Amino acid sequence: MTRLLGQHPAIEVEVDDRGWPVGLRWPGVREPVEACHHWRIEEAWWHRPLVRDYFKVVGPRLLALVYRDGTDGSWHLERLYD
Amino acid sequence: MERSHEPLQHALATLQTRWGSAAIRLGDGRPPGSAAAADQGAPAVHGALALAVLPDSHPAAPRPVPAAGVISTGFPALDAILGPMGLPAEASVAVRGGPSSGKTTLALRCAAEAQASGDIVAWLDLARAFDPVEAVARGVDLRWLLVIRPATVHEGLSLAGSLLTGRCVGLLVVDLPARLQVPLDQQLRRLAAHARRVGARLVLLEPASLARSLGAALTSSTGLRLELERRAWLRLGRDVVGQRTAVAVAKNRYGPPGRSVEVDIHYLAEGERSLATHRLASADSGTVAALVPPVMLTPPVAPPVPAVSEQQDPPVPARRSTPRLVVV
Amino acid sequence: MRLLYLDWPHLPLRLALGRDPAPEEVVVLGGRAWDAGHVLDRSPAAGTLGVRRGQPLGTAHSLAPEATFLPLDVAALADPFEAALDALNTLAPAVEGEVDPTHPAFGRVYIGIEGLARLWGDEATLLGRALALVAPLLPGSPRTGIGNTRFGAGVAARIGATPIPAGGRQEEAAFLAPLPLALLPADQAIQQRLGVLGLRTMGQLAALDHSAVVARFGAAGAELHDLVRGMDRRQLRPRRPPERLAADVELEPPAAELEPLRFVLHHVCGTLCEQLAARGAGASRALLTLTLDLPRGVSGSRTLAYRQVLPEPSAAAELLERLLLARLEAAPPSAPIERLRLELDGTAPEAGQQLTLFSRQAAHAARLEWQVASLAIRFGDDRILRAVTGDTEAHIAERRFRWRTAVEP
């Protein structure tokens, strides 16, 4: 089961040279992660383009689904597997 | 034709001698050589998948039958160590675990089991993380589920208490947020006592980040305390498709405490989520919804290709056109 | 038959906006752009972009992405129009109008005005009175027409003509004769064929032999031929005003506490529900009006109104009382009460305990609905939710479902 986080809170993500996440950061906490699955969603939905690069990331404490918003480059946390 | 089967029969016999007669099954689940095979023609399933071992949480544990008034937790192995083979009526359970420990899955399975026994379920979503589509995939019937999303934690607890008073709701799940601004010990204790009085089951999901003092309060006011800890990830190729979780019974008023068991949790693949949504749609239109999601294998991950940003797509004008899903 | 016709074009939209839409405003009524519903109404500007009534909202959004999408509240649209019909009923007993906002005839009223001259004065005066009655209830002014048939009155309203002279079919036909055939309620194919035959005005069509028109256009042609000859046979179907049960109680001395009020409410609910139950009916809405005993010199409204929509038509006094009390407790009156009025309307057949869904939970369903309704009063409508299907094919998780409040029927 996953927990779907309502507003997809923005998070800080460290990326490697390919642009894949290697660490998630909250204030005071850093979680090293490894991307284990990756896909992309693109839609020109109602003329408001939507591009998201999804990464399923696994760390020592959690498994999560994060995405990079292709329109502004921000990172968001969408799901926590639990 | 008969001759060509001989080497196969021989190989099967050798394997059965070594691993036991139940080790090999035909695609439809019958052991080889059973009489029905010839009568009923070819089995419906062919190919490699027919013999593939489907992920099953508890292949060894037979599903126990809980006593009257007892609902299963959805994990037969866990039911088996709880004493009454599940959660008795009026049971209150605190489930403590960190992120990705599996506590949400456990609560959802309990909800589905409670509904199957005729209960209406209320979910107090203080963490604001409830996903109805996933709930359906875990067997929850949305017609008999109320989700409470209050403005404050206090409001939510008093709303949930009032809802229990009507004696319509048979199971209340309280999903506590990772951080609490105000102490809730007293209010939670009152809610647990109230639930016991009106004969409703209560499941409290307690993130490990919450203060131990709250945990102590919950322990004293609930009859059963489960502590969840993830032991391993289940992988298919690179992808993580599930987890193995240790469930320790820290307190048990209904049976022997101190036992623990490991259970496997399989996550849903994207395809299953959309399957669940379709079931959601068919449930709305009045057809009978299946309670148990079919088991599906997650497709293995393709080798990574770092060329994501170079993809260019023409704009898609109409709303119903299929969005592009690119796996890289 | 003498008819006064009032027509508020785009009434649902006017009501939703509380005014006429500005000419350049692109507004669509029916729900939010991502909802599963259909367009109920649109502004003229949205119409020029191709948005039509009955279209799926998603289609409307792709045609007019800049449009403002207004959610649909059926009760909020139906109530003012019903109030207007009630008001017109005080003028004439025969008033026809459709109160369902989703019905195409919503916003159109026919009033039988034959023989009302002695009561109210001539037709112009009567029209003035009718307009004055509805002006405070509905936004914008209606198109008006007076005629001897439904069709005639409707055409007079569309072209803004003076009343058709009173009389019979001759007067009606003479009025219609010079008007273009485009005003006929005919589909495009028939209009084209009429054009091909060289017919331009209703008079030209009326002059043809009836059997010749039937031979060429069949039954539909026969009806059109009757219309242009002033022989619209459709009768006026006066509405039956909804039955309303009401009880008034004077409180002497005025009640300053909730306790005496609770006692009175218990009595009143019991009496009204008994009457309903005797007829096998149930109320779907309740209106509790309290008149306050304000001290001299204190300004402010003297009445307090509590509206309660019931989860299902019901004659259960106890449940009704409990819901109204919950409303009172949520917003207690600020001064002693000297008068209490309870009105139950929408008397529909009582729903009873229908176990339509084959599951054990259904036995609790009705009680749960009532309970949720009373909790919604205490805590707010948006606290208890149910999930329903969204776009099942969506790749974004949040579009696959949406929340709705548990009190929505």
Q: List the single residue in C with minimal CA-CA distance to A2.
A: C397
What pLDDT is stored for residue B28 in this prediction?
Answer: 47
Distance CA A4, CA B8 (A): 49
Distance CA C381, CA C327 (A): 13
Q: Looking at the complex, report in whole angstroms how far the Cα of residue C136 sits from the nearest Cα belonging to chain A.
A: 40
Where do we find the tokens 């906006």? C17
Q: Looking at the complex, report in whole angstroms how far the Cα of residue B78 sits from the nearest Cα belonging to chain A.
A: 17
Task: Tell me the residues of chain B between 271 and 300 that have a Cβ less than 8 Å away from chain C.
Answer: 273-274, 277-278, 280-281, 284
Q: List the single residue in A with minimal CA-CA distance to C397.
A: A4
* Cβ separation C389–B281 shorter than 8 A: yes
Q: Which chain C residues contact residue B268 at CB under 8 A?
A: none
As a 3-state breakdown, chain B gives helix, strand, coil percent values, each rounded to 5, of 35, 20, 45
Q: Do the beta carbons of residue B69 and residue B89 sit within 8 Å?
A: yes
Beta bridge partners of B145: B121
Distance CA C137, CA C85 (A): 10
* Cβ separation A4–C62 shorter than 8 A: no
Q: Do the beta carbons of residue B105 and residue B265 sit within 8 Å?
A: yes
Question: Of B258, B212, B243, B248, whose CA–CA distance to B101 is shortest?
Answer: B243
Q: Looking at the complex, report in whole angstroms how far the Cα of residue B148 sits from the nearest Cα belonging to chain C.
A: 5
Partner residue opposite A38 with nearest CB, options B240, B304, B316: B304
Is B198 within 8 Å of chain C by CB? Answer: no
Of A40, A45, A56, A77, which to mutate for an interface test with C (greatest number of C Cβ within 10 Å)? A45
Is B303 within 8 Å of chain C by CB? Answer: no
Q: Please give chain C's pLDDT, 409 residues, in tens.
A: 899 999 999 999 999 988 878 888 899 999 888 877 889 999 999 999 999 998 889 889 999 988 999 988 887 888 899 899 989 988 888 999 988 888 889 999 999 998 888 888 899 999 999 999 999 999 989 999 999 999 999 999 999 888 888 888 899 999 999 999 999 998 888 999 999 989 999 999 999 999 999 998 888 899 999 999 999 888 888 887 666 788 888 888 888 888 888 888 999 998 888 888 777 778 888 889 999 988 887 777 888 888 887 877 788 888 888 889 888 888 888 889 999 999 887 566 665 544 444 567 777 887 888 888 888 888 888 899 998 877 766 778 888 888 888 876 5
Sign of the dihedral through C-alpha C136, C137, C143, C144: negative
* Cβ separation C398–A46 shorter than 8 A: no
* Cβ separation B159–C379 shorter than 8 A: yes
Q: Over the stretch B252-274, which tens digit does the pLDDT of each residue have?
A: 999 888 999 999 998 876 555 55
Structure-block tokens of residue B86:
């599940």
What pLDDT is stored for residue C37 in this prediction?
Answer: 82
Q: Provide the 8-state DSSP code for C387.
A: E
No. of helices (H) and no. of strands (E), chain A: 0, 8
Q: List the single residue in C with minimal CA-CA distance to A44.
A: C62
Beta bridge partners of B242: B234, B266
Burial of B19 (C-beta count, 10 Å sphere; 0-12/13-18/19+): exposed
Where do we find the tokens 């420990």? B101
Q: List the single residue in A with minimal CA-CA distance to C63.
A: A46
Which contiguous run of DSSP H or E holds residue B48? helix B48-51
| Sheet of A12-15, strands arranged across | A12-15, A21-26, A29-32
Rg of chain C taking only CA atoms, in angstroms: 26
Q: Which chain B residues contact residue C403 at CB under 8 A?
A: 147, 149
Interface partners of B (3+ CB pairs, < 8 Å)? A, C
Question: Of B242, B270, B222, B271, whose CA–CA distance to B96 is shortest?
Answer: B222
* Cβ separation B284–C389 shorter than 8 A: yes
* Cβ separation A43–C395 shorter than 8 A: yes
Distance CA A69, CA B201 (A): 42
As a 3-state breakdown, chain A gives helix, strand, coil percent values, each rounded to 5, of 0, 65, 35
